[in-house]
């Protein structure tokens, strides 16, 4: 006869699941069967008891593998398997995949599946920071409010490599985009204090920090920034494309073409 599950143990199921542990890991750590863990998580509303209508067992395995192993977002999974995003979410809940972003022991969110939806301790602005590069409204950081307790800036060990690198990382985590698109160069310039004249934003093609990011080993960058290797790979691809776009944008022929088009 199975031993009864007490309230404290049920709360531990939910806590471990919210921290990013799978059902199999929770069952192994607490010496319970996966079925018992699944039942109590379903009773707590953390997972679904029944699979979504019309989704086969093979599709459940494929969606779970794509989300967990390939680290695709729910939108990407929906596009890959031809399902609505809500069906993908219910499929993952039925499979026992924790959808809550995992939290470290210090209370910081750990980046992973969707870096531009959640903050990371390495790329948060300090308390009271104003607008970042690429933000359209002064004084408002584009990261969603409520993802992290207010007033906690990065520690000295978590600060990015330098100011330019920090601006690029903060904006990438906030929006998934670059500091600015080339055509938005003038719209995103900020007035210099006391002069009223615009100051140039971050030029990724000329920043030594960006060059360092593109050439430094992944392990070194991971220890400096706290980002996962998959996020660093995405950031490298984005910065390479941005640097190429900036070089194209600044060449004389491109400026001449833009002037001709502006006259028409």
What tens digit of pLDDT does each residue of 227-242 get? 666 666 777 677 666 6
Residues 77 and 187 reside in one and the same domain: no
**Whether the predicted pLDDT of 63 surpasses 70:** yes
Kindly state the average pLDDT of the residues 38-54. 71
The model's pLDDT over 4-26, given as tens digits with 9 standing for 90+, comes to 777 777 777 777 777 767 777 77
**Which residue range(s) make up the domain with 15?**
7-94
Closest CA relative to residue 211, chosen from 254, 174, 162:
162
130 and 47 assigned to the same domain = no
Average pLDDT, the chain: 60
Hey, is 147 helix, strand or coil?
A: coil
Higher pLDDT, 127 or 49: 49
Choosing from 37, 65, 94, the residue where a domain stops is: 94
Token match 């929906």: residue? 78
The reply to whether 101 falls in a domain is no
pLDDT band at 187 (very low <50, low <70, confident <90, very high): very low
The rounded distance, in Å, linking the Cα atoms of 5 and 9 is: 6
Q: Note whether 63 and 129 are same-domain residues.
A: no
Same domain, 29 and 83: yes
Is the separation of the CB atoms in 156 and 122 below 8 Å?
A: no
Q: Which one-letter DSSP state was computed for residue 183?
A: G
The reply to whether 129 falls in a domain is yes
Do both 134 and 255 map to the same domain?
yes
Examine residue 90 and state whether it is found in any structural domain, yes or no: yes
Report if residue 233 sits inside a domain.
Answer: yes
Task: Quickly tell me which residue has 């022991």 as its tokens.
Answer: 105
Listed residues 27, 62, 94: the one ending a domain: 94
CB 185 within 8 A of CB 179: no
- In the DSSP assignment, the letter for residue 5 is P
pLDDT of residue 178: 43
Q: 93-118: b or e for each residue (b if 16 or more CB lie within 10 Å)?
A: bbbbbbeebbeeeeebbebbbebbbb
Task: Verify that 80 and 142 share a domain, yes or no.
Answer: no
User: Same domain for 188 and 263?
Assistant: yes
Using DSSP, state whether 109 is helix, strand or coil: strand
- Say if 171 falls within a structural domain: yes
Q: How far apart are CA 147 and CA 174, in angstroms?
A: 11
Domains: count for the chain: 2
128 and 226, same structural domain?
A: yes
Residue 139, domain member (yes or no):
yes
User: What is the arithmetic mean of pLDDT over 241-256?
Assistant: 62
Does residue 125 share a domain with residue 256?
Answer: yes
Specify if 100 maps to a domain: no
Please indicate, yes or no, if residue 105 is contained in any of the structural domains.
Answer: no
Percentage above 90 pLDDT, the chain: 0
Last residue of a domain, one of 26, 60, 94: 94
Residue 104 Cα distances to 71, 126, 183, angstroms: 19, 19, 39
How far is residue 112's CA from residue 25's CA, in Å, rounded to a whole number?
Answer: 19
Q: Which helix (H) or strand (E) holds 94?
A: helix 85-94
Strands (E), the chain: 190-191, 198-199
| Rounded-to-5 percentages of helix, strand, coil across the chain | 50, 0, 50
Report for 53-57, 127-131, 144-148: range of highest mean pLDDT = 53-57
* Same domain as 248, residue 179: yes
Q: Indicate the SS3 state at residue 28.
A: helix
pLDDT at 156: 41
Give the whole-number percent of the chain exceeding pLDDT 70.
Answer: 33
């Amino acid at each position: 006869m199975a031993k009864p599950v007490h309230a404290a143990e049920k709360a531990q199921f939910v806590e471990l699941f919210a921290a990013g542990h799978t059902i199999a890991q929770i069952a192994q750590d607490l010496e319970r069967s996966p079925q018992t863990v699944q039942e109590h998580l379903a009773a707590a509303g953390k997972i679904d008891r029944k699979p979504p209508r019309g989704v086969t067992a093979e599709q459940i395995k494929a969606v779970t593998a794509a989300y967990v192993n390939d680290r695709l977002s729910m939108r990407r999974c929906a596009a890959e398997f031809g399902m609505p995003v809500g069906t993908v979410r219910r499929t993952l809940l039925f499979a026992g995949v924790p959808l809550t972003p995992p939290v470290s022991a210090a209370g910081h969110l750990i980046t992973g599946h969707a870096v531009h939806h959640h903050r990371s301790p390495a790329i948060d602005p300090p308390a009271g920071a104003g607008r970042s590069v690429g933000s359209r409204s002064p004084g408002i950081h584009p990261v969603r409010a409520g993802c992290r307790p207010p007033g906690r800036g990065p520690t000295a060990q978590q600060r990015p490599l330098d100011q330019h690198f920090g601006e690029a990382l903060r904006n990438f985590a906030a929006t998934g985009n670059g500091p600015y698109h080339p055509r938005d160069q003038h719209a995103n310039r900020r007035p210099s204090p006391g002069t009223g004249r615009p100051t140039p934003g971050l030029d990724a093609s000329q920043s030594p920090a960006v060059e360092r990011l593109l050439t430094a080993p992944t392990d070194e960058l991971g220890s400096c920034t706290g980002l996962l290797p998959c996020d660093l790979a995405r950031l490298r691809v984005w910065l390479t494309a941005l640097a190429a776009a900036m070089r194209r944008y600044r060449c004389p022929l491109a400026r001449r073409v833009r002037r001709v088009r502006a006259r028409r």
